[in-house]
Structure 1
Amino acid sequence: MPTPTFHPDIHDAALQQDLEALYTGHHRWLRSWLRRQLHCSESAADLAQDTFMRVIAARNASQILEPRVYLATVARRVMVDYFRRSALERAYLEAIAHFPEPVQISVEERSMVIETLCEIDAMLDALGEKPRQAFLMSQLDGLTYQEIAERMNLSVSSIKKYMARAIEHCLLFSLS
């Protein structure tokens, strides 16, 4: 396999060399490790590339002391994102399958919807469990603060605080 030429924005020759050494020295190992985790060669190859893209973006290849430990850690995060995205995509496809008439959307629209769902999921994941639960009960189930408080076995004032935190979080997330 030829050594890849990395992103043209990488002007630092030393960084370029470190990335190339990391890639040539560990890409095959990472792909094999991912294949054992995923039981799928194609997904392993994709996630190995995604892992190296994150390493490139971090611009810290020269500081990596334990390359395989570092790559496995980054790859685990990539796998979590991959599984989360796959679950969201399956849920989305299942949801539209229940619509009364067949819904035809383009590949681009589907990709945009799934990307938006992933962003919402990441935003909600950054909330604590109770604020997220209260927010979802309010927004998805249409429950009042009183109803949420009863279901969560909390006070209405706690629910108000959780909702304020969740709404503030959503606003700050949308501005970033």
Structure 2
Amino acid sequence: FIRLMAKPEKLGDLREPRAYLTTIANGLVSDHWRRQSVEQTYLDALTLYPTEHQPSEEQRALPIELLLQLNTLLQQMKPLIRSTFLLSQLDGLTYRQIADQLHVSERTVKSYMAQAMLHCLRLKNQTDN
């Protein structure tokens, strides 16, 4: 919305301002709930450790921020690309196993992984700048 307001000439192109603002509000609410869910999952996992081994508030902030960035990265991927990436990186499946599970060719799995890695690289470059 701020980007739109910064370019008044674009305001004339906006046909349904109320619908536009509603879409923005829905996105913000969705982001809030997703962030809260990621944060709560991490904090719940920490309760499995004895109190003396739990990190301080400051030590919790960095992993939560990284988890939120990772969640955002994953949500930006197309579903099959995301599934391929997670099956490879989290479950440790081979490309052949992923292909069998997703009912696609091994070549398609390689393509999906290349797209996922490219997406990760682009995000890394954006955050480095």
TM range (shorter): 0.7 to 0.9
* d(CA) in 2 for partners of 1:83, 1:69: 21
The reply on whether 1:84 has 2:34 as its aligned counterpart is: yes
Higher relative contact order, chain-length normalized (CA < 8 Å, sep 6+)? 2
> How does the TM-score come out when normalised to structure 2?
0.79
The reply on whether 1:125 has 2:75 as its aligned counterpart is: yes
**Judging changes above 3 Å, is the alpha-carbon distance between structure 1 residues 144 and 73 closer, same or farther for their aligned structure 2 residues?**
same
> Which string of whole-angstrom CA distances, capped at 9 and with x for unpartnered residues, describes residues 90-116 of structure 1?
2112222234x3442222222222121
The reply on whether 1:60 has 2:10 as its aligned counterpart is: no
Determine the structure 1 residue equivalent to 2:105.
155
- Find runs of 4+ consecutive structure 1 residues off by over 6 angstroms: none
Amino acid of the residue matched to residue 87 of structure 2? M
Q: Equivalences for 1:157-176 in 2 at 5 Å?
A: 157-176=107-126
Percent identity between the aligned chains?
Answer: 38
* d(CA) in 1 for partners of 2:16, 2:104: 47
Aligned CA-pair RMSD: 2.2
* d(CA) in 1 for partners of 2:106, 2:73: 24
Q: Which structure would you say has the larger Rg? A: 1
> How does the TM-score come out when normalised to structure 1?
0.60
Structure 2 unaligned spans of 5+: none
Choose from 56, 65, 86 the match for 1:136.
86
**Judging changes above 3 Å, is the alpha-carbon distance between structure 1 residues 166 and 67 closer, same or farther for their aligned structure 2 residues?**
closer
Secondary structure of 1:105's match? coil
* d(CA) in 1 for partners of 2:18, 2:109: 45
* d(CA) in 2 for partners of 1:147, 1:139: 13
Secondary structure of 1:60's match? helix
